[in-house]
């Protein structure tokens, strides 16, 4: 019972300490105090709590599987990128962005693990991270890279990195030592073997920092905290340093309560005065789902003591929060870190915004909070931020929320470009989100930008993509009304194409004629050609002839080929005559038009129709030498009589 009371006292002291703070942090999360149960006398309630946690975690198995799959994909992408030499920084960043790879501490570790037998790729990757994502580097990452160099026999580079690590206060882990010394001994590098042993310590089996940490952790894990444990820890006669305490806390990560008891006891006992490094180590341990309240109380202490949160701490805790869907805590952490010296990168803002929009419930307050924190720190939102957010919205079929997103970003000082507005209009139109679309188009009207015919065109294109002819037609009419006809050519062609695909070429013709005669819209040449072909295919010969008149009125040459092909197969003599009159530019039609028609009739085997057409042609055509020669050459060949040879 005495041991249990001692254990509880040290834990509760953590809570009471935070209550004594004069200036509590504005970033502190107000959570209810959880009851603490001794690990050696588990209660029924604690069993139920453990069962509930297990159940909750199992419910998210599919989500974790997706994250695991994404992680595997990202490793494959990194392997492909950094296995190729001579790639510049811009090319690498482009590849990472196109594959949605966001660099995190865990991803760096996993990537180095995959490069274990590929030291050249590992060096390229490590150097790139050092230059572009240095905040992702930690003692663990350095040790992984050091182990790759050592186990692959790169002695000089190994020692160069050891010096760099020493300057950062990082030690060489036992695992890295073992891998390296095995290779050095295999390569008979006796000088390096000796140097490594001297560097690591003369009594490797008993007094290495790794072994000392192992003994301390074994003692804490294997016993209920009490006077006996404290006595044994003192009996080790250890000189507790920042390095030693940091490693012990890391090894006790899965037993955060015991790690916290050790953390509190070691300062209370006068063995060590905690500094920025050890407090950050404790924060990394507590930055877990089951230690949320304790983590924020420690953050309060960190702030009151004037210590900064290390980048490694921020990165690791942020990853833990996001992985466990604790998005509010992740945003609070981001807010806290942004007022410190070690500010998160601009990528972290985008990362959080994307996580917020794909959450089970879109929390616009959290979204706006991230934007506010980002911009109040002197940053500006860009089109890349919006593109990433819209992509995430699409991935969870929540694109209709873009209006709320745009409003929040507008409040933060950002307005989407005309190209981005066009993309949004297309997605809303093709997705059939009428309510959201109306709100978005009102947003465009009220934005004060120059007339945005491109957005209207994209909207119509979206409706056409969805095959919604009615909405596409209504949007086109509204576009011409609001923006005028000068930039409506492409939108009209889209609409004509959709009409024709639905076998409504006659309706398309009526629309084109109305736009030309009433709105003076200049129709594209390609639109006329498309319309003529579809009209003839859908038995709209007379309308197709009218299109020729519209083309002439807008200065286009007549489009002959589809008419000649149509008439040669199904046209009557009267149809052919009407066609020649429609293509007449001057008083008389060109002789070549008639010749082409006659040749097409003969080629199609319709000689009688050609004769009928000839009979109705003007005199100058009937008497034209080329026409007469054509008809003479096409006369049926009679069987030749056998003429006896002259005597």
Residues contacting 148, CB < 8 A, separation 6+: 112, 115, 116, 119, 122
Cα–Cα distance between 23 and 512 in angstroms, integer? Answer: 72
Is 449 within 8 Å of 418 (Cβ atoms)?
A: yes
User: Regarding predicted confidence, which is higher, 204 or 331?
Assistant: 331
Q: In terms of pLDDT, which residue wins out, 56 or 612?
A: 612
For residues 519 and 67, what is the distance between their CA atoms, to the nearest angstrom? 55
- CB atoms inside a 10 Å sphere around CB 612: 16
pLDDT at site 450 = 52
CA angle 27, 30, 34 (to 5 degrees): 135
Long-range CB pairs of 201-204, under 8 A, 24+ apart, other chains included: 204/177
Q: Are 460 and 495 in contact (CB under 8 A)?
A: yes
Q: CA distances (Å), 311 to each of 82, 281, 333, 510, in order?
A: 25, 12, 12, 66
Q: Is the dihedral of CA 128, 131, 136, 138 positive or negative?
A: positive
Report how far residue 274's alpha carbon sits from residue 266's, in angstroms, rounded to the nearest whole number.
9
Residue 437 pLDDT class (50, 70, 90 cuts): confident
Q: Does residue 605 come out as left (phi exceeding 0), alpha (psi in the -120 to 50 range) or beta?
A: left
Q: What is the DSSP string of 466-529?
A: HT-HHHHHHHHHHHHHHH-STT-HHHHHHHHHHHHHTT-HHHHHHHHHHHHHHH-----HHHHH
Q: What is the pLDDT of residue 10?
A: 53
| C-beta of residue 337 within 8 angstroms of C-beta of residue 344 | yes
Closest CA to 104 of 272, 440, 414, 352: 352
Q: How many residues does the chain have?
A: 647
Q: Which residues contact 286 (CB under 8 A, 6 or more apart)?
A: 256, 259, 260, 294, 295, 298
Q: CA 408 to CA 525: how far, in whole Å?
A: 43
pLDDT per residue as tens digits for the range 576-592: 999 988 887 665 568 88
Query: Of 52-66, 372-386, 473-487, 604-618, which gets the smallest average pLDDT?
Result: 52-66
Closest of 205, 167, 230 to residue 6, by C-alpha: 230
In the chain, the largest separation of any two C-alpha atoms, in whole Å, equals: 149
Q: What would the pLDDT profile of 491-544 be if each residue is shown by its tens digit? A: 999 999 999 999 999 999 999 999 999 999 999 999 999 999 999 999 899 999
Say whether pLDDT at 469 is over 60. yes
d(CA 500, CA 14): 75
Secondary structure letter of residue 176 according to DSSP? H
What is the rounded average pLDDT for all residues in the chain? 81
* 103 pLDDT tier (thresholds 50, 70, 90): confident
Model pLDDT, residue 563: 93
Using a pLDDT cut of 90, give the percent of the chain over it.
33
d(CA 419, CA 409): 17
Q: How confident is the model at residue 189 (pLDDT cuts 50, 70, 90)?
A: confident
Is the Cβ–Cβ distance between 299 and 336 less than 8 Å?
yes
CA-CA-CA-CA torsion sign (30, 33, 38, 39)? negative
Q: Which element (helix H / strand E) includes 89?
A: helix 89-98
pLDDT in tens, 9-40: 555 454 444 434 433 333 333 333 233 333 33
Percent helix, strand, coil in the chain (nearest 5)? 70, 0, 30
Residue 299 near residue 283, CB atoms below 8 Å = yes
What are the b/e assignments for 26-48, b being 16+ CB within 10 Å? ebbbeeeeeeebbeeeeeeeeee
Q: How many Cβ atoms are within 10 Å of 639's Cβ, its own excluded?
A: 5
Q: At what angle do helices 256-268 and 276-286 cross, to 10 degrees?
A: 160
**Count of CB atoms situated within 10 Å of the CB of 273:** 8
Collapsed DSSP state (helix, strand, coil) of residue 25: coil
Cα–Cα separations (whole angstroms), residue 364 to 311, 401, 406, 415, 603: 27, 10, 11, 18, 71
Nearest Cα neighbor of 482 from 519, 521, 515, 451 is 451
Buried b / exposed e along 146-158 (16+ C-beta atoms within 10 A): bbbbbbbbbbebb
SS3 286: helix
**What is 375-392 written as a DSSP string?**
HHTT----HHHHHHHHHH
pLDDT at 20: 40
For residues 408 and 420, give the distance between their C-alpha atoms in angstroms, rounded to a whole number.
Answer: 16
Comparing 205-219, 316-330, 392-406, the range with the smallest average pLDDT is: 205-219
pLDDT in tens, 273-285: 999 999 999 999 9
In this structure, of 126-140, 141-155, 169-183, 239-253, the range with the lowest mean pLDDT score is 169-183
- The counts of H helices and E strands in the chain are 37, 0
Closest by CA position to 234, among listed 276, 262, 205, 257: 262
| Residue 567 CB coordination number (10 Å) | 25
Q: Considering Cα of 288, then 294, then 297, then 303, what sign does the dihedral take?
A: negative
């Amino acid at each position: 019972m005495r041991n249990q009371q001692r254990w509880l006292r040290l834990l509760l002291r953590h809570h009471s300490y935070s209550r004594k703070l004069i200036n509590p942090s504005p970033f502190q999360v107000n959570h209810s105090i959880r009851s603490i149960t001794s690990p050696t006398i588990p209660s029924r309630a604690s069993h139920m709590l453990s069962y509930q946690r297990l159940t909750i975690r199992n419910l998210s198995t599919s989500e974790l599987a997706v994250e695991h799959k994404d992680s595997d994909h990202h490793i494959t992408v990194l392997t492909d990128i950094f296995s190729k030499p001579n790639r510049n920084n811009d090319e690498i960043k482009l590849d990472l962005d196109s594959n949605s790879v966001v660099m995190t501490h865990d991803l760096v570790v996993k990537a180095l693990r995959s490069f274990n037998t590929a030291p050249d790729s590992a060096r390229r990757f490590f150097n790139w991270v050092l230059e572009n994502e240095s905040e992702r580097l930690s003692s663990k990452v350095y040790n992984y890279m050091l182990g790759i160099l050592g186990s692959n026999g790169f002695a000089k580079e190994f020692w160069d990195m050891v010096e760099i690590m020493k300057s950062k206060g990082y030690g060489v882990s036992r695992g890295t030592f073992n891998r390296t010394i095995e290779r050095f001994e295999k390569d008979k590098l006796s000088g390096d073997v000796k140097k490594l042993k001297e560097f690591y310590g003369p009594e490797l089996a008993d007094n290495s920092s790794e072994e000392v940490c192992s003994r301390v952790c074994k003692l804490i894990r294997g016993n209920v905290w009490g006077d006996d444990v404290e006595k044994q820890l003192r009996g080790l006669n250890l000189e507790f340093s920042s390095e030693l305490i940091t490693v012990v806390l890391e090894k006790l990560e899965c037993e955060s309560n015991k790690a916290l008891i050790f953390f509190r006891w070691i300062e209370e006992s006068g063995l060590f005065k905690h500094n920025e490094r050890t407090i950050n180590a404790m924060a990394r341990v507590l930055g877990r789902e089951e230690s949320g309240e304790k983590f924020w109380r420690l953050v309060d202490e960190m702030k009151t003591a004037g210590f900064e949160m290390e980048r490694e701490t921020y990165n690791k805790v942020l990853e833990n929060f996001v992985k466990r869907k604790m998005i509010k805590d992740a945003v609070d952490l981001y807010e806290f870190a942004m007022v410190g010296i070690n500010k998160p990168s601009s990528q972290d803002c985008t990362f959080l915004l994307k996580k917020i929009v794909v959450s089970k419930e879109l929390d616009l307050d959290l979204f706006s909070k991230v934007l506010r924190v980002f911009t109040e720190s002197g940053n500006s939102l860009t089109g890349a931020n919006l593109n990433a957010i819209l992509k995430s919205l699409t991935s969870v079929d929540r694109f209709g929320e873009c209006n709320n997103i745009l409003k929040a970003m507008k409040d933060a000082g950002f307005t989407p470009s005309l190209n981005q507005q066009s993309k949004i209009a297309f997605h809303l139109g093709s997705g059939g989100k009428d309510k959201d679309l109306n709100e978005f188009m009102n947003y465009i009207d009220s934005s004060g930008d120059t007339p945005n015919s491109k957005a209207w065109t994209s909207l119509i294109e979206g409706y056409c993509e969805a095959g919604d002819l009615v909405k596409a037609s209504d949007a086109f009419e509204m576009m011409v009304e609001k923006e005028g006809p000068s930039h409506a050519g492409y939108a009209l062609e889209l609409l004509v194409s959709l009409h024709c695909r639905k076998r409504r070429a006659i309706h398309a013709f009526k629309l084109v004629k109305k736009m030309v005669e009433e709105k003076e819209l200049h129709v594209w040449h390609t639109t006329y050609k498309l319309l003529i072909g579809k009209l003839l295919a859908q038995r709209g010969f007379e309308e197709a002839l009218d299109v020729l008149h519209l083309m002439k009125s807008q200065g286009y040459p007549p489009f002959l080929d589809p008419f000649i092909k149509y008439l040669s197969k199904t046209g009557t003599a009267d149809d052919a005559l009407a066609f020649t009159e429609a293509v007449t530019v001057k008083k008389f039609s060109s002789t070549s038009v008639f010749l082409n028609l006659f040749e097409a009739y003969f080629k199609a085997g319709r000689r009688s129709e050609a004769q009928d057409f000839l009979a109705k042609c003007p005199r100058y055509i009937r008497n034209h030498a080329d026409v007469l020669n054509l008809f003479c050459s096409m006369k049926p060949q009679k069987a030749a009589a056998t003429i006896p040879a002259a005597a």
